[in-house]
Amino acid sequence: MVQDRYETTLRDGTPVLIRAVVPQDKPLLMDGFGRLSEASRFRRFMSGVTQLSEEQLRYLTEIDYTNHFAWAAVRADRPAEGMGVARYVRLPDEPDVAEAAVTVVDEYQGKGLGTLLMGLLAVAARAAGIRKFRAYALVENEPMVTLLEELGARAHVDEPGVVRMDVPLDPEILPDSPAGKVLKAMAKRVLTPVVKPFPGTPPYGVPRVQVSDAPPSPGD
């Protein structure tokens, strides 16, 4: 079955629905941001941002799904409760590279959601012709650095305290780490059908993603 949303359970059984972000998600994002700890907000935005402005909310939700794409993870049993977001933004001067970022609300961290969101983000990115993710993380951000290293990222120190990590989105060269295995499994099942996006697919022309089978858990 072809679908542009994905429903599964996290390691602890929490039901999650992952779907493309839409313009109506401004309250969802605001609420999710409000439930992030100060440390998570600092790690994501690398500054002491305390709330999202109208302009930021527009930028984060009114996206074109090709050069700027974002998945939202919500509780499948409480769809108004955001759990996390993953987005990529294509670099204008390197069109096969996109900057990627992922955020999981603190109470849902460490349950595999970040890995899952990153995997689905890679699927959407490949469908849009992106071959590499670039992510910036604080050197002390062990969860993000580990997650990206497990996907074969190479780290370069960009400026003091910040690492730039490049992740090639090639299923053939993904490492045999738990996160690499999840992505490889997703790639095998979903990449081929979405390499050519279906034009004009609702909502908002989002490339459809075939994710009918749950990926194996990282231990598989």
Enumerate binding residues for ligand COA (CB under 6 A).
Answer: 40, 43-44, 101-104, 109-115, 135, 137, 141-144, 146-147, 178, 218
Report CA-CA distances (Å) from 190 to 49, 85, 164, 165, 171. Answer: 36, 20, 28, 25, 11
Residue with tokens 């990529």: 88
Return the residue nearest ligand COA (CB atom).
Answer: 114
Contact predicate 152/172, CB 8 Å: no
In the complex, minimum distance from the CB of residue 199 to ligand COA, in angstroms, rounded to a whole number: 31
Which H or E run contains 60? Answer: helix 54-61
State the nearest-atom distance from the C-beta of 191 to ligand COA, in Å. Answer: 20
Q: Which is nearer to ligand COA, 19 or 43 (CB)?
A: 43
Judged by CB, which is closer to ligand COA: 19, or 41?
41
Per the listing, tokens 């002390």 go with 140
Q: How far apart are CB 219 and ligand COA at their closest, in Å? A: 8
What distance in Å separates the CA atoms of residue 68 and residue 125, rounded to the nearest whole number?
9
Q: For residue 144, which of 73, 46, 57 has the smallest C-alpha distance? A: 46
CB of 23 to ligand COA, least distance (A): 23
Going by their DSSP bridges, the two strands 132-138 and 94-104 should be labelled as: parallel
Nearest approach, Cβ of residue 145 and ligand COA (Å) = 8
Q: Closest CB to ligand COA among 3 and 217?
A: 217
- State the nearest-atom distance from the C-beta of 194 to ligand COA, in Å: 22
Does residue 203 have a cis bond before it (omega within 30 degrees)? yes
- Looking at the chain, how many residues does it have? 220
The token duo for 215 is 């990926």
Nearer to ligand COA, 33 or 65 (CB): 33
Nearer to ligand COA, 82 or 114 (CB): 114
- Measured from the CB atom, the residue of 2 and 39 that comes closer to ligand COA is 39
